[in-house]
Structure formats: structure tokens, C-alpha cells
Structure 1
Amino acid sequence: MEGAAPVHMYCKINIKVTSMAQDRFMALDALALMRHSNASWKLLASDDAAFCCAFFYQEFLAGNVRNLPEARLLMDMRPFLKEKHALAKEPQPEEEALEGEAKQYLRRWSDEEHRWLRRFYRNHMTYYDLTTSGQKAVEWLENLRSRSFIGTESRLHTFFNILHEIEHKANPDKKARLDYLRKQRAEIDEKIRRLREGGEVEVLDEVQIKERFMEAMDIAAGILSDFREVKDKFQGIYNDFRNEVNEWEQGKGALLSQFIADREIIEESEQGKSFSAFFDYLMASSQQEDFDQTMRKILRLKALAGETNRYNPLHVRRAWVDGAEDVQQTIGKLSEQIRWYVNENNLQEKKNIYFQVKEIEKKALAMRGREPKREKEFMWLDEAAPTISLPMERPLRMPPAQMELAQDALTVGEHVGSLEAIFNQVYVDKAVLRAHIEDMLETRQKVTLKEVIVAYPLEKGLFELLAYMEIAKSEACHFTPAKERIFFQGIDGRSRYVTMERIVFEKKEP
């Protein structure tokens, strides 16, 4: 019995330490440190928080835009700077001064101290993208907006549905799975029986529809926010790898092994696997078509007539694809840059530059406290950093070719052939084509272009088919990935066919 007491005491202490470790993130000292080190918190606590967040939201988040060139940001920041000076009751600076001020802001927001923007170079141009820290700060402010409607019932259903899915799909027992599926089939059969016997169809009311739609759009926005965090993780791996290249003393094989191991940590992590599964699911053509059709049907509901959201619901899938492709492109570019870094000549050149910079830093630190006095005029810099000019990086100017005109006198020529082709132009009346489409939609909700052409054959061949496609771009219709072959007779009498994406026209709401 004497030996049991220490064991009991050890267990209690161990549990207490584990609980404290889980709460370390919200501990007072951890939060005090985060207040001065976390980029998102520093943005919200900065004096220019309102100016920064308003600009970031308008440029990047309002339209889900990524990777903007510096020239566009400098131009778009000018009205924000003018409004900022007006609110502070400061005199309005000149246009040239505004551009210089805007450039200073972009440089400051992308430095190591702030890390609200990421600056990079592409095709000899400077680009910026909002970082995860900057996005989190702006979205935190956006969540402070008062909602006109707060629903809880749909989230409760979602909560229980997720729990039931985990309960049944995490159990490998075949008998339990069969019992669950039989129970579901019995419930479905019972619903079918009631409907056949004249029972009423259970439908969602307007409140339930609106609540579930808002929850779906919140999930969609959350997915878009996650893309930047995944991208930043891969970018962080590359930055660490680049620093290791400069200090690496072993062979290139060991260097690549270290990089591959670091990359696999993310790809095999829970977040990496989830992103990979999401990308494969999203890129399936059947899923894209199902999403478009479902979203269009939902948006016709009367309960959602006045709903607005940061993202156009019809463009959510496109925004997902753009965000996922941006992550994939980042991974591909990192691989290209890594191949360049491990090249023998480039590797040695980078090391030489790195060690020269380190040598300068050592000498500068050695001079601390022994700086020359001002009267000796040791050395002065007008700016904090040198201005770099790379004239050889610019393409050489190619003078335009000069046109030489012949001095021969113009004479009257003779025409050979028929002039009928000039006067026999083909005119297609789009109003007639629209009438054909409306006639087909009188008895159905949607109709394909092929069905319209079967009912009203093309009289003017390819010209009429192109006119239908122009109408499709401006009317309530959509293109689907499925291919279909359309046969028609050209104006020359020859039979032809076109293989194209399926175009579906839909009836307009009254």
C-alpha cells in the first residue's frame, strides 16, 4: 500500500500538466508575447488599421482576387490616401507624392516586421498578394458586422449529421453497417408509402431555406480563406529551404532529402490530405455540373430573392477552382526554383553572396559603440536602402520597321471573276432565333441548343449557329462540359457537323 500512493500522486500531476499545456495558447504570458509578434494582431492594433483593412478588403477580398501587380495597387491606393488625408484634416499632397507614399506603404506592409502582404516577382514585374495574417485580421473585422438574421436550427442539424456520419462510417463492422443501411432504407420506404397514399410533401419554410443557405455560403467563404493558409505553408517550406541552401555544407543529395522530407510532412498531414481530396473532388466534371445546376435551382427560390453575399453564389465554384489552382501553381513554381537552387554554379554563387553579406554584418556589429563622429563625415546614405538598377535585364529596343512606298503611278486595273460574293452577304435575325428558343421553353423549364436546332433546322448554316452562341452568352443559359454533335446543312448545300459544349437555355422567371 505504501508504494501505491506515489503512483497515484504522479498520475494527478501528469494530468494537470497536460491540461495546462492545452491552455498555453490563451495563457497571459503567451498572449502578451503574441500581442507584439502576431502579424494579425499587430495589424488590428496599428494606427492605420482602418486604412489598411479597408484597402485590403477592397483589393483582395471583395472580389476574391490574388496576385495583383504593383502598378495596379499604386493606382488604386490613391483615392484611399486622399480620403485618409481628408479625414485627418491634412493638406492633399501632389500626385507624385501620393505615388511615393503608396509605394512606401506597400514596402512596409510586405517587410518582415509586418508580413501583411507578400511581395514577389514574376516576368520582371513586382506582384503582391494578401497573406494569411492580413486576411484573418480583415475577416475578423468583417465578422463584427451585425447580422439581420442569425439561425441556429440548421447548424444543429449539421452538427448531428456530422456526428452520425462519424459514428457509422468510422465503424468497420459490416453487420453494423448493413443494419444502418437497412434502417435508412426502411425510413425511405415509409416516406414513399406516405406520399403514395396522399400524404403531404414536407418542405422547408422561408426561414429554414434562408438559414441553410447562409450557412452554406459561410462554409464556402471559409474554404476560400483556407487556400491562402495552405499556400503560405508551402511558401514557408520554400523559404526555409532557401536559407538551408546558403548554409548547407553537405552534398546536394542530403539537401534534397531534407526538402522532400519537409514537403511530405505537409502533404501527408491532415490538412494536406484534406486539400488533395478537396482538389480531386472539385475538379471532377460531374461535380462541377452538379454544383452549377443545383445552385441555379436554389437561387430561383423566393426566399433567397433578396440575399446578398460577398461572393456571387454562381461564381463560388470558379473562385474555388482559382484558389486551388493558385496553390497548385505555387507548388509547381517552388519545384522549378528548387531545381535552379541546387544547380552547382547557382548554388556556389548563392553561397558566396550569402557569406559576403554575413561578413559585412559581422564587421558592422564589431563597429557598434565605436561609430565615427559626425564631423569626420564617415559615410552617409540618403535612403535606408540602395536603389538597384538592372539595365541588362531590360529587353533591347527594337526600332520599328520603316515602310517603303513604291513611286509607281496608279493605273486602272481590270477585274477578273464574279462580284456576287461581295453583295451576297448573310444576315441572321437574332430576334427570330430568340423566338425559336422561347417557343421551345413554353412547355418545359430548360432546353438544349441541339433540341432547338432539331425543331428549327439551321437555314443559314454556321452563321446561324454562331448567332445562337452569341445569344447564349447574354441569356439565362449555361455551358456544360458534356460534348454533343450538331449536324446542319451549310449555305453551300454541303452537310457538316460541329462538336461543341452542350448549351442549355432556361426559362426566365416571370
Structure 2
Amino acid sequence: MHLEQIRTLFDSSAAIRLLRSDSAPFILDFLNLTFKKAGILTLGQEDLKQKLLIYTEQLHETDPECLKGAMDRYLVNWSDSGWLNRHLKSSSNDPQYQLTRHSEDVIQFVDLLISQRTGLVGTESRLRLIIDTLSDLVQGSSSDPDKRLAYLEDQKKNILDEIDALKHGLPVAVYKPSQIRERFQMAVNLLKTLQSDFRAVEERFHEIALQVQQDQQKSLETRGQILGNAMDSEDLLKTEDEGISFYAFIAFLFTPDSQQALRQTIDEVIRLEAVQDERDSIMRLRSMVKLLLNEADKVQSKNAHLSTSLRKLLNVEAAENRRQVSEVLHEIKQLAVSMRDKTISDFTCEAVVQTSLDLFSPFTRTFWTTPQTFADQPEEHVIDLERTARERTSLANLEYLDLEQLRQNVQMMLQTNEHLTLENIIVAIPPESGVLELVGYFQIAFEDGHIINRENHCVVVITDAATSNQIRVRIPQVVFRKVSFMKYESNSL
């Protein structure tokens, strides 16, 4: 690290611009809550605007001067600044947003500073990790059979000594609670770092695909040259350190046995008594496999986009069709200019569109999966008519939940209140269907864009209509707002 490198970084880095921004704490908090803490990779523009609107409304209760203005302006500004990546999916017209590598780096950097000040600093576990990594590096890179044999014999002796101690009832060394917490936090921090590393590989695929499209549009090179450059770039990525590590990660994680072993290990770790207070870390670790699979699938979609670009490039017929369409559009423009002073009755306009089948690349095929097998042959199913009749009767006796009536209850009470909690509604209008009505109110709050705070909980008491017994139910805090029902009414109109 030299002075010129530091000055260049401070002048050009989007991550530094984010840290220097006046609204940096609020932007980081919103991006972290919306994407990282929620475990979401991409969000549509409308969903992101709605979440930002709810966030700013809550923020203005304590900081009314922060993040004021149209939500669209902030999303455009954050995208132009390099903090959000805006792209379109072929299956949707709604723009999609995701974190960039720069915002990932800033969130990781700030999280590391906070954890160092308020969390556990595991020096002993980090030192042991360094020593184990260096030892593994020495043994794994050595081709000397005598050294490898001596290392394995030493490992064998340690294992046999521990087995012998367990058989004779002797105590064995186990981790202390502090050591368990150190290693647990270190694993969670490595997981956070791993998530941000995916952005580097994904952006590399994006750069290759973008370069292919630019060369194709400029037509400065022949089709064979563009194809050769694209394939060379993709092969180069697979031979670079990032690409080698990523494809090795894919080969490991997409193996069913590896996934099962990893899930089993995670389940055993989160049951350890020493880490039960680390709820946020437990939740992140619990969703680790799903999160990593989603991240890997996101990166591979970029590779699929590159394959699509190559497929279009090789499709000579499609290129000829695009040329013909361009000529027809040019003729239509010329006719439109010549007819702009005429009325509609003076002429008739007709257009003929010719279409052709598209080609598909073998790269778009999904991975092969092992077919499901059954250990035993399925037994012949015999229909139990008496049980079917009982189930039909039970289904017919289910109580009907009128969501529109519940919505009218909320709307009626919001006529005199700007904000209203679910507890207020239950006290004013006791539920007639018991816990089922609570589910209905939650559905209304979710559909109409009200506030559901899963961090805060409250206890409500309702009466069971069947037994007349009182039931205490612990639920997340739900706040109904008048503005949401105004939107609901305008949409209905």
C-alpha cells in the first residue's frame, strides 16, 4: 500500500464515497436490513421503494430531516454511485436491484469495526486457525512420501490416544465456553466475508458478457474474433484464482452428501449451550446452505447470460433478421415523416412481421440430479370411506374467515386514529373466531403494506369460542396506518 494507491482509491472508489456520504449511517442501515439481514439477493423496484418508504417513515419520527424526497430519486442516485446494481430480467419488466461489491465491502468493514468494539475478539482461535492453516499448507504442498507418512502417523497416534482415553473413562480435552464462542463468531464472520466474495466473480462474468455485446454492436471485429475473445476471457476466469476457487466451491456445495453433512454440522453447532445468546448469528448460520446456494445460482445466471450472448452471436439467421428489421423500421420512419401532414383517411398503413425459431445453447441445461429411489415398494392404497366421510364433515364445519369484515374493522378504527396496534383492535373488537382472526389480521397487514415488526413482540389474550377458555398468544408487533388504507381504497377504485 503506497500513497498514490491510497489517493487513487479515495478519488475513485464507490465504497469510499459511500463512507463519506452525509447519509451514510442511514443508507448502510437500510441496505443491511433489506438485503443482508433479510437474506435477500435481489429485489424488484416496487418492493424496494415500498421498503424504503416504510424505513423513512419510521426514521422521520426521530430524524425528520434525513432521507427526504422521492424514493425513486434515492434509488437512481444509489445506482449511479455504484452502491446498487440495477438490471432487468427477461421474465419481468420491473427493474431488479442488488448490492454491489462496493456496498458489500462497506457493510462488512463497518460490521467488523462494530464487532471489534462490542463483540468478542478471539485471539486464541485466530492464532490456532493460522497455525492449522500453515501446517495444512506445508503438508498439502509436500510431495515427499516420508514427510506425509510421518504426519499421518502422528495424526494416527493422537487419534488412538484419545480413543484409548475414552474407552478407559479418562477425561479428554474439550473446548471451554469462551473458546466455543470465539470459534463460532469466527465462522460467522468468515461466512459474511464469503458472501461479499461472490460479487467479484459475478461482476467478472458481467464484464465479459458486456464486452461481448459491445463488440457485437460495434461490429469492429469478425464474428469468429468476438467469439474467440469471449471464450478466451471465460477460460481465463476459470484459470484465475477467483474462478478456480469458485468452481471448486460449486463442485463441493452442489453435492448432496456435502450439503447433508454441512446441514447436520450446523444443526449440532446451533444446539451448543455456549452460543444460545447469539441469536442473530444462529439465524444467519441456520440459513447458510440456502444462502450460499442462492449466491452460487446468481453467479451462474451471469454465466448463462454470457452463453446467451454467444448463442445470439452465432445465430447468423437472427443477425440477418435484425438487419432486415432495422431496414423496415427505417422505411417506416421515412413514410411517417412523409405522411405527417395527411389525415388518417388519406392513407392506410400495413406492417408484416416475420418470426423464426430461436436457438438454445447446451449451457442453459440444468445440472444432472440423482433420481429419487425408494427402498421399499409402495403399498396398495385402499380408500377408507368412513375416514373420508369424517374428514369431509370436519372440512365442512371449518369456520369461515371473512377478511373483508376484518379489513372494515381496521378501517373503521383508523378513522379516528393515525396509527393503531393489533392489540388495540383486539381489545375494541374481541375476536369471534379465536386465533384464526389473528392470522387474518396478519394477512391484511402484509397485503396492505402495514408495519410488522418481527423484532418486538407482545402478548395478547383472546377467548376460545368453543371452550370459553382464555388463550395467551405471543405475536410480533403489528401497527396499522391510515396511509396504507388510503392506498388500498385508491387501488380498489
| Structure-2 change in CA distance of 1:212 and 1:245 (3 Å) | same
Partner of 1:214: 185
- Quick one: which of 153, 161, 164 aligns to 1:193? 164
Matched, 1:169 2:136: no
Q: CA deviation at 1:65?
A: 0.8
Q: Distance in 2 between matches of 1:236 and 1:343?
A: 22
SS in structure 2 at match of 1:424: helix
Matched, 1:321 2:293: yes
| Structure-2 change in CA distance of 1:36 and 1:92 (3 Å) | closer
- Quick one: which of 273, 293, 308 aligns to 1:336? 308
Partner AA of 2:107 in structure 1: V
Q: CA deviation at 1:424?
A: 2.9
Q: CA deviation at 1:195?
A: 3.4
Q: Distance in 2 between matches of 1:151 and 1:428?
A: 61
Partner of 2:214: 243
Partner of 1:38: 13
Q: CA deviation at 1:47?
A: 2.3
SS in structure 2 at match of 1:118: strand
Q: Could you list the per-position Cα deviations for residues 166-218 of structure 1 after superposition, in whole angstroms to 9, with x for gaps in the alignment?
A: 11111112222122212221222233333334421221111111111111111
Partner of 1:155: 126
What pairs with 1:90-109 in structure 2 (closer than 5 Å)?
Answer: 90=65, 101-109=70-78
Partner AA of 1:237 in structure 2: I
Q: Distance in 2 between matches of 1:337 and 1:427?
A: 55
Q: Distance in 2 between matches of 1:254 and 1:34?
A: 35
What pairs with 1:61-460 in structure 2 (closer than 5 Å)?
Answer: 61-82=36-57, 89-90=64-65, 101-111=70-80, 114-122=81-89, 123=91, 124-145=93-114, 146-309=117-280, 311-341=283-313, 343-344=315-316, 424-426=389-391
Q: Distance in 2 between matches of 1:219 and 1:90?
A: 37
Q: Could you list the per-position Cα deviations for residues 405-440 of structure 1 after superposition, in whole angstroms to 9, with x for gaps in the alignment?
A: xxxxxxxxxxxxxxx8798324999xxxxxxxxxxx
Q: CA deviation at 1:125?
A: 2.2
Contact 1:51/1:80 (CA < 8 Å) preserved in 2?
no
Contact 1:68/1:129 (CA < 8 Å) preserved in 2?
yes
Q: CA deviation at 1:316?
A: 0.8
Partner AA of 2:83 in structure 1: W
Contact 2:46/2:94 (CA < 8 Å) preserved in 1?
no
Contact 1:82/1:92 (CA < 8 Å) preserved in 2?
no
SS in structure 2 at match of 1:166: helix
Q: Distance in 2 between matches of 1:240 and 1:74?
A: 31
Contact 1:86/1:92 (CA < 8 Å) preserved in 2?
no
Q: CA deviation at 1:92?
A: 10
- Quick one: which of 9, 23, 29 aligns to 2:4? 29
Q: CA deviation at 1:341?
A: 4.6
Q: Distance in 2 between matches of 1:47 and 1:309?
A: 28
| Structure-2 change in CA distance of 1:200 and 1:175 (3 Å) | same
Q: Distance in 1 between matches of 2:152 and 2:139?
A: 10
Q: CA deviation at 1:345?
A: 6.8
Q: Could you list the per-position Cα deviations for residues 209-246 of structure 1 after superposition, in whole angstroms to 9, with x for gaps in the alignment?
A: 11111111112222122112211111122222222223
Partner AA of 2:108 in structure 1: E
SS in structure 1 at match of 2:113: coil
| Structure-2 change in CA distance of 1:201 and 1:38 (3 Å) | same
Q: Distance in 1 between matches of 2:155 and 2:61?
A: 65
Partner AA of 1:241 in structure 2: V
SS in structure 2 at match of 1:144: helix
Q: Distance in 1 between matches of 2:168 and 2:67?
A: 76
Partner AA of 2:296 in structure 1: A
Q: Distance in 2 between matches of 1:265 and 1:152?
A: 38
Partner AA of 1:300 in structure 2: R
Q: Could you list the per-position Cα deviations for residues 320-372 of structure 1 after superposition, in whole angstroms to 9, with x for gaps in the alignment?
A: 1111111112211221133235544765869x99xxxxxxxxxxxxxxxxxxx
Partner AA of 1:139 in structure 2: Q
Structure 2 unpaired stretches of 5+: 327-352, 354-384, 395-493
- Quick one: which of 38, 53, 59 aligns to 2:28? 53
| Structure-2 change in CA distance of 1:427 and 1:205 (3 Å) | farther
SS in structure 1 at match of 2:200: helix
Equivalenced residue count is: 331
Contact 1:154/1:212 (CA < 8 Å) preserved in 2?
yes
Q: Distance in 2 between matches of 1:78 and 1:242?
A: 36
Structure 1 unpaired stretches of 5+: 1-25, 354-391, 393-419, 430-510
What pairs with 1:477-488 in structure 2 (closer than 5 Å)?
Answer: none
Q: CA deviation at 1:86?
A: 5.8
Q: Distance in 2 between matches of 1:92 and 1:102?
A: 9
Partner of 2:361: none
Identity over aligned residues, as a percent?
25
Q: CA deviation at 1:275?
A: 0.8
Q: Distance in 1 between matches of 2:257 and 2:181?
A: 27
Q: CA deviation at 1:283?
A: 1.4
| Structure-2 change in CA distance of 1:341 and 1:115 (3 Å) | farther
| Structure-2 change in CA distance of 1:138 and 1:220 (3 Å) | closer
Q: CA deviation at 1:91?
A: 11
| Structure-2 change in CA distance of 1:423 and 1:194 (3 Å) | closer
Partner AA of 1:115 in structure 2: G
Contact 2:205/2:303 (CA < 8 Å) preserved in 1?
yes
Contact 1:69/1:126 (CA < 8 Å) preserved in 2?
yes
Structure with max Cα Rg: 1
Q: CA deviation at 1:40?
A: 0.7
Q: Distance in 2 between matches of 1:321 and 1:90?
A: 40
Which TM-score applies when normalising by structure 2?
A: 0.61
Q: CA deviation at 1:38?
A: 0.7
